[in-house]
Amino acid sequence: MKKDRISNNVIRRLPMYLRKLDDLMAHGVDRISSGELGKQMGLTPSQIRQDFSCFGEFGQQGYGYRVAELREQVSRILGMHRGYTIAVVGVGNLGHALMENFGFSDQGFRLVAAFDLNPEVVGKVIQGVTVQDSAKLSSWLHDNPTDIIVLTVPRSIARSVAQTVADNGARGIWNFTNIELELDRPDVRVENIHFSDSLLTLGYFLAEQDAAENG
Protein backbone atom coordinates (compact mmCIF):
# COMPACT_ATOMS: atom_id res chain seq x y z
CA MET A 1 0.00 0.00 0.00
CA LYS A 2 1.44 3.37 -1.03
CA LYS A 3 2.57 5.50 1.85
CA ASP A 4 2.27 9.26 2.12
CA ARG A 5 5.18 9.92 4.40
CA ILE A 6 8.36 8.14 3.40
CA SER A 7 11.00 7.87 6.09
CA ASN A 8 14.46 9.21 5.50
CA ASN A 9 16.00 5.81 5.98
CA VAL A 10 13.97 4.39 3.15
CA ILE A 11 14.90 7.25 0.86
CA ARG A 12 18.59 6.80 1.60
CA ARG A 13 18.34 3.16 0.65
CA LEU A 14 16.83 3.86 -2.76
CA PRO A 15 20.12 4.81 -4.46
CA MET A 16 21.67 1.64 -3.04
CA TYR A 17 18.92 -0.43 -4.60
CA LEU A 18 19.50 1.39 -7.86
CA ARG A 19 23.20 0.59 -7.84
CA LYS A 20 22.57 -3.03 -7.02
CA LEU A 21 19.93 -3.37 -9.71
CA ASP A 22 22.24 -1.80 -12.28
CA ASP A 23 24.85 -4.27 -11.22
CA LEU A 24 22.46 -7.18 -11.59
CA MET A 25 21.40 -6.03 -15.03
CA ALA A 26 25.03 -5.73 -16.08
CA HIS A 27 25.44 -9.35 -15.04
CA GLY A 28 22.45 -10.46 -17.05
CA VAL A 29 20.19 -11.19 -14.09
CA ASP A 30 16.62 -10.45 -15.11
CA ARG A 31 14.68 -11.59 -12.07
CA ILE A 32 15.36 -11.68 -8.35
CA SER A 33 13.53 -12.39 -5.11
CA SER A 34 13.64 -10.23 -2.02
CA GLY A 35 15.43 -13.12 -0.31
CA GLU A 36 18.28 -13.23 -2.78
CA LEU A 37 18.47 -9.44 -3.05
CA GLY A 38 18.59 -9.21 0.71
CA LYS A 39 21.40 -11.73 0.91
CA GLN A 40 23.45 -9.83 -1.63
CA MET A 41 22.84 -6.45 -0.02
CA GLY A 42 23.00 -7.41 3.61
CA LEU A 43 19.37 -6.54 4.29
CA THR A 44 16.44 -8.65 5.41
CA PRO A 45 13.88 -9.68 2.80
CA SER A 46 11.21 -8.06 4.94
CA GLN A 47 12.88 -4.72 4.81
CA ILE A 48 13.27 -4.85 1.07
CA ARG A 49 9.63 -5.71 0.53
CA GLN A 50 8.54 -3.01 2.94
CA ASP A 51 10.76 -0.42 1.30
CA PHE A 52 9.32 -1.03 -2.13
CA SER A 53 5.78 -1.32 -0.88
CA CYS A 54 5.99 2.32 0.20
CA PHE A 55 5.81 3.25 -3.47
CA GLY A 56 3.63 0.56 -5.01
CA GLU A 57 3.51 -3.10 -5.92
CA PHE A 58 6.47 -3.83 -8.14
CA GLY A 59 6.81 -7.57 -7.63
CA GLN A 60 4.87 -10.69 -8.44
CA GLN A 61 3.96 -13.36 -5.94
CA GLY A 62 5.69 -16.66 -6.54
CA TYR A 63 8.00 -15.04 -9.06
CA GLY A 64 9.87 -12.10 -7.49
CA TYR A 65 10.90 -8.85 -9.10
CA ARG A 66 11.82 -8.21 -12.72
CA VAL A 67 15.15 -6.47 -12.37
CA ALA A 68 14.80 -4.10 -15.32
CA GLU A 69 11.31 -3.06 -14.31
CA LEU A 70 12.22 -2.55 -10.68
CA ARG A 71 15.26 -0.55 -11.69
CA GLU A 72 13.03 1.64 -13.81
CA GLN A 73 10.64 2.19 -10.94
CA VAL A 74 13.38 3.15 -8.51
CA SER A 75 14.92 5.46 -11.04
CA ARG A 76 11.54 7.09 -11.58
CA ILE A 77 10.97 7.50 -7.84
CA LEU A 78 14.34 9.23 -7.61
CA GLY A 79 13.29 11.59 -10.37
CA MET A 80 16.16 10.62 -12.64
CA HIS A 81 14.05 11.16 -15.73
CA ARG A 82 13.39 14.77 -14.87
CA GLY A 83 16.78 16.02 -16.03
CA TYR A 84 17.31 18.50 -13.24
CA THR A 85 19.78 21.22 -14.15
CA ILE A 86 23.00 21.71 -12.25
CA ALA A 87 25.44 24.57 -11.83
CA VAL A 88 28.80 24.22 -10.14
CA VAL A 89 29.83 27.18 -8.04
CA GLY A 90 33.51 27.10 -7.13
CA VAL A 91 35.73 25.45 -9.71
CA GLY A 92 38.71 24.64 -7.53
CA ASN A 93 40.27 21.22 -7.38
CA LEU A 94 37.12 19.60 -6.09
CA GLY A 95 34.62 21.40 -8.29
CA HIS A 96 36.81 20.64 -11.27
CA ALA A 97 37.09 16.99 -10.27
CA LEU A 98 33.32 16.68 -9.99
CA MET A 99 32.75 18.30 -13.37
CA GLU A 100 35.26 16.03 -15.04
CA ASN A 101 34.67 12.74 -13.30
CA PHE A 102 31.22 12.67 -11.79
CA GLY A 103 28.88 11.57 -14.53
CA PHE A 104 26.05 14.03 -14.00
CA SER A 105 24.28 12.94 -17.16
CA ASP A 106 24.67 9.26 -16.24
CA GLN A 107 22.63 10.03 -13.15
CA GLY A 108 20.00 11.93 -15.08
CA PHE A 109 21.20 15.46 -14.38
CA ARG A 110 22.27 18.20 -16.78
CA LEU A 111 25.38 20.20 -16.05
CA VAL A 112 24.57 23.62 -17.46
CA ALA A 113 26.93 26.14 -15.89
CA ALA A 114 29.95 26.77 -13.70
CA PHE A 115 31.19 29.80 -11.84
CA ASP A 116 34.43 30.88 -10.19
CA LEU A 117 36.03 34.14 -9.18
CA ASN A 118 39.59 33.16 -10.10
CA PRO A 119 40.47 34.87 -13.42
CA GLU A 120 42.74 31.97 -14.32
CA VAL A 121 39.81 29.58 -14.24
CA VAL A 122 37.13 31.81 -15.77
CA GLY A 123 36.76 31.06 -19.47
CA LYS A 124 37.99 27.50 -19.27
CA VAL A 125 35.77 24.89 -20.87
CA ILE A 126 35.16 21.76 -18.81
CA GLN A 127 32.91 19.02 -20.10
CA GLY A 128 31.44 21.43 -22.57
CA VAL A 129 30.68 24.07 -19.96
CA THR A 130 32.44 27.43 -19.92
CA VAL A 131 33.37 28.69 -16.47
CA GLN A 132 31.85 32.12 -15.89
CA ASP A 133 32.83 34.89 -13.55
CA SER A 134 31.14 34.64 -10.16
CA ALA A 135 30.07 38.24 -10.50
CA LYS A 136 27.52 37.05 -13.03
CA LEU A 137 26.11 34.34 -10.77
CA SER A 138 23.00 36.13 -9.51
CA SER A 139 21.91 37.54 -12.82
CA TRP A 140 22.61 34.31 -14.65
CA LEU A 141 20.57 32.28 -12.19
CA HIS A 142 17.82 34.84 -12.41
CA ASP A 143 17.72 34.46 -16.20
CA ASN A 144 18.32 30.70 -16.18
CA PRO A 145 16.41 29.03 -13.36
CA THR A 146 18.59 26.18 -12.17
CA ASP A 147 17.51 23.30 -9.99
CA ILE A 148 20.66 22.34 -8.14
CA ILE A 149 23.79 24.21 -7.11
CA VAL A 150 26.97 22.29 -6.39
CA LEU A 151 28.61 24.34 -3.66
CA THR A 152 32.37 23.82 -3.82
CA VAL A 153 33.60 27.21 -2.68
CA PRO A 154 35.89 27.97 0.27
CA ARG A 155 34.02 27.82 3.55
CA SER A 156 34.66 31.49 4.25
CA ILE A 157 32.20 32.50 1.52
CA ALA A 158 29.99 29.43 1.62
CA ARG A 159 27.17 30.94 3.61
CA SER A 160 26.82 34.07 1.51
CA VAL A 161 27.02 32.18 -1.77
CA ALA A 162 24.40 29.74 -0.53
CA GLN A 163 22.13 32.62 0.38
CA THR A 164 22.65 34.18 -3.02
CA VAL A 165 21.74 31.07 -4.98
CA ALA A 166 18.80 30.36 -2.71
CA ASP A 167 17.51 33.87 -3.31
CA ASN A 168 17.84 33.35 -7.05
CA GLY A 169 15.71 30.30 -7.51
CA ALA A 170 17.92 27.35 -6.67
CA ARG A 171 15.82 24.49 -5.36
CA GLY A 172 18.59 22.34 -3.92
CA ILE A 173 22.16 22.83 -2.76
CA TRP A 174 24.69 20.03 -2.86
CA ASN A 175 26.97 21.30 -0.15
CA PHE A 176 30.60 20.21 -0.06
CA THR A 177 31.72 22.86 2.41
CA ASN A 178 32.37 21.80 5.93
CA ILE A 179 29.66 23.91 7.51
CA GLU A 180 25.98 23.65 8.27
CA LEU A 181 24.30 26.12 5.93
CA GLU A 182 21.24 27.10 7.99
CA LEU A 183 19.38 29.01 5.30
CA ASP A 184 16.28 31.01 6.08
CA ARG A 185 14.47 29.22 3.25
CA PRO A 186 12.88 25.93 4.22
CA ASP A 187 11.90 25.36 0.59
CA VAL A 188 15.54 25.04 -0.47
CA ARG A 189 16.83 21.55 0.21
CA VAL A 190 20.42 21.13 1.36
CA GLU A 191 22.24 17.85 0.92
CA ASN A 192 25.62 17.69 2.58
CA ILE A 193 28.82 15.89 1.75
CA HIS A 194 30.79 16.38 4.93
CA PHE A 195 34.15 14.79 4.17
CA SER A 196 35.55 15.38 7.61
CA ASP A 197 32.51 13.93 9.36
CA SER A 198 32.95 10.78 7.35
CA LEU A 199 36.67 10.44 7.99
CA LEU A 200 36.30 11.22 11.67
CA THR A 201 33.68 8.51 11.94
CA LEU A 202 36.17 6.08 10.46
CA GLY A 203 38.72 7.34 12.96
CA TYR A 204 36.28 6.68 15.78
CA PHE A 205 36.05 3.01 14.90
CA LEU A 206 39.82 2.63 14.76
CA ALA A 207 40.13 4.38 18.11
CA GLU A 208 37.45 2.12 19.54
CA GLN A 209 39.38 -0.89 18.32
CA ASP A 210 42.58 0.44 19.83
CA ALA A 211 40.87 1.14 23.11
CA ALA A 212 39.47 -2.38 23.26
CA GLU A 213 42.91 -3.85 22.70
CA ASN A 214 45.04 -1.62 24.91
CA GLY A 215 43.01 0.94 26.81
Under the rule (CB under 8 A), what is the footprint of its own copies?
11-12, 14-16, 18-20, 41, 77-80, 82, 84, 92-94, 96-98, 100-102, 107-109, 147-148, 171-172, 174, 178-180, 189, 191-210
Pick from 40, 44, 118, 201 the residue near DNA by CB under 7 A.
44
Pick from 27, 61, 119, 205 the residue near DNA by CB under 7 A.
61
Q: Are 131 and 91 in contact (CB under 8 A)?
A: yes
For residue 119, state whether it binds DNA (rule: CB under 7 A): no
For residue 45, state whether it binds DNA (rule: CB under 7 A): yes
Measured from the CB atom, is 28 or 81 closer to its own copies? 81
What's the first-to-final CA gap in the chain, in angstroms?
51
Which listed range, 54-62, 109-117, 123-131, 166-174, lies at the site for DNA (CB under 7 A)?
A: 54-62
Measured from the CB atom, is 135 or 173 closer to its own copies? 173
Q: How far apart are CA 176 and CA 182, in angstroms?
A: 14
Q: Is the dihedral of CA 22, 23, 24, 27 positive or negative?
A: positive
Residue 176: half-sphere exposure toward Cβ, Cα within 13 Å = 18
